[in-house]
Amino acid sequence: MIFKYGYIVIYVIILSVGLFHFKKYKHSFLLKMWLYFLIYSFLTECITRYIVEIYRVRTITLNNTWFILNVLFYMFFYLHNIKNLVRKRLIISLSSVFILMNIIMSFYMDYTKEYFVYSNIIGQFFIVLSIMIYFVEVLKSEIILTIQKSLIFWISLGVLIFNIGLLPVFVIGELIDWQGIFKYIILSMNILMATSFITGFIVSKKEFNT
Amino acid sequence: MEQEEIQVLILITTVIVLILAVTLIFFFFYFQQKKTAYLIKQRETQQQFEEEITKSKLEIQEQALQNISWEIHDNVGQLLSVAKMQLNILQLNVPEEQQSKIQETGDIVGKSLQELRGLAKSLNPDTIKNKGLIESIKLEIDRFNRLNFINAFLKISDKPFNLSNEKEIILFRILQEFSNNTLKYSKAKNLVIELNYTNNQLEIYAEDDGVGFDINDKSKHQGIGLLNMKSRATLIGGKIDLKSAENKGTKLHISCPK
């Protein structure tokens, strides 16, 4: 039960807190985009759950689409948060590699029938790299002094923990047939990420959410 | 490896990786926060120190100007007054044909006296304090016009307001520096000073139509006291902008908050 509907509950909690504190970041285009992305993720979760439960079919296309959009969204998110040109170029190259990799993979795998596990692993790794690049920029600037009051920091922390935590289990996932501990780790990572997001909504201040 | 062992292994790896990542992130952020705060504080102290130095430099300068002004007024001025009186007395005792010459000399001495008093006033910071910025600039403009080789003109917008003494003295000294440069180097025919009072800002424009200079030539900045003007303006929270090109005159813009 908890593995079936837990994620939907998590999303509902994040979105409710997020909408409650909407006025703190409604002036920021990127943060609004991020909220819309969360809503899209929530809808994907609901629809896939509905299809799986009612029609008893797998929803690989929807999942693969979410995997890819998730990676591309965060790349875009950090691309716009970073000001340094060299770092921007680095993120653009990472996204290009990711897109190219998915195109090549779609020649060998069926997008509608197989999970793009490896592209997902690489994607998670790229997200981690982008966040590191963002952190390097923040560490070198004066933003660091008030960083805990900025929602973007808490988003980054949550997404970083989520993706780093999932890397080992995704790499070895095939060996354990994506069962057992896999489910627990995914759920706990989601809870950790949600906690970070919610902390961000609560402690962030309007003037630092630019 | 057994299924169970693999699962435990994954769990342990995940936990270790997570703990490492979170610890590292918090450590780096904490460390960097302290470091940045320290650097900013250091920079602020440095700035404060420089401000203090500029302030005391200005104070010394004002004091020196005041001393010179007193000296001119009380010493040289007195001597010239006595000389003029002596000439007046002398005039009565000389033959008629020489009286006009003595009269002329007396007039020149009188004029010198007047000029010296004007100069003493314009140097003395107390004049600016007592008369205010506008009056002092007017006096200065009159003094320039009396010199007869430049046409100086002052424009003032509606609703002028008073600034603090410190601000007025500094603004006046900057304008004085600019005008002196105009008189000394520019060979200009006209000098226009405009005071534009807005809601919470005083915008000052000063412009001459002289020979100008190459603003990119850094060696000239010292000579015309540009750095001096800038550091003074910063002291009262103002901004200064000097524009010039060869044969195109020089324009100065100062904006000073109320």
> Is residue B138 included in any domain, yes or no?
no
B176 located within any domain: yes
Nearest CA in chain B to A142: B36
- The 3-class SS string of chain B reads CCHHHHHHHHHHHHHHHHHHHHHHHHHHHHHHHHHHHHHHHHHHHHHHHHHHHHHHHHHHHHHHHHHHHHHHHHHHHHHHHHHHHHHHHHHHHCCHHHHHHHHHHHHHHHHHHHHHHHHHHHHCHHHHHHHHHHHHHHHHHHHHHHHCCCEEEEEECCCCCCCCHHHHHHHHHHHHHHHHHHHHHHCCCEEEEEEEECCCEEEEEEEECCCCCCCCCHHHHHHCCHHHHHHHHHHCCCEEEEEECCCCCEEEEEEEEC
Q: Looking at the structure, do residues B155 and B256 belong to the same domain, yes or no?
A: yes
ipTM of predicted assembly, 2 dp: 0.77
- Percent of chain B at pLDDT above 70? 98
Q: Is residue B191 part of a domain?
A: yes
- Residue A37 sits in which domain range? 2-208
CB contact under 8 A, A185 and B7: no
Whether B110 and B190 map to the same domain: the answer is no
Indicate whether B133 belongs to any domain.
no
Residue B56 lies in a domain: no
Chain A CB contacts of B10 under 8 Å are 168-169, 172, 176, 181-182, 185
List the domain range (segments joined by +) for residue B8. Answer: 1-32
Q: What is the pLDDT of residue B57?
A: 87
**Interface contact B3, partner A, CB < 8 A:** yes
Any domain includes B103: yes
Amino acid identity of B4?
E
In this structure, the answer to whether residues B4 and B75 fall within a common structural domain is no
Query: What value, to the nearest 5°, has the Cα angle with vertex B155 and ends B151 and B160?
Result: 150
Q: Of B157, B86, B73, whose CA–CA distance to B113 is shortest?
A: B73
Residues of chain A neighbouring B41 (CB-CB closer than 8 A): none
Structure tokens at A121: 């692993």
CA dihedral A15, A19, A22, A28 (to 10 degrees): 40
% of chain A at pLDDT higher than 70: 100
Do B85 and B160 sit in the same domain of this protein?
no
**Residue B5 sits in the same domain as residue B85:** no
Contact between B6 and A175 using a beta-carbon 8 Å cutoff: yes
Residue B1 is predicted with a pLDDT of 65
Total domains present in chain A: 1
Q: How far is B19 from chain A (nearest CA, A)?
A: 9
Task: Establish if B37 belongs to a structural domain.
Answer: no
Kind and range of the H or E element at A188?
helix A181-203
pLDDT by residue (tens digit) across A5-39? 899 999 999 999 999 999 999 899 999 999 999 99
Cβ atoms of residues B201 and B258 within 8 Å: yes
Structural domain includes residue B43: no
Kindly report the CATH number assigned to the domain that includes residue B192.
Answer: 3.30.565.10
Total domains present in chain B: 3
Residue-wise pLDDT tens digits, A163-201: 999 988 888 887 787 788 888 899 999 999 999 999 999
B167 and B254 belong to one structural domain: yes
Residue B14 and residue A168: Cβ atoms within 8 Å?
A: yes
**Interface list for chain A against chain B, based on CB atoms closer than 8 Å:** 135, 139, 142, 144-145, 147, 157, 160-161, 164-165, 167-169, 172, 175-176, 180-182, 185
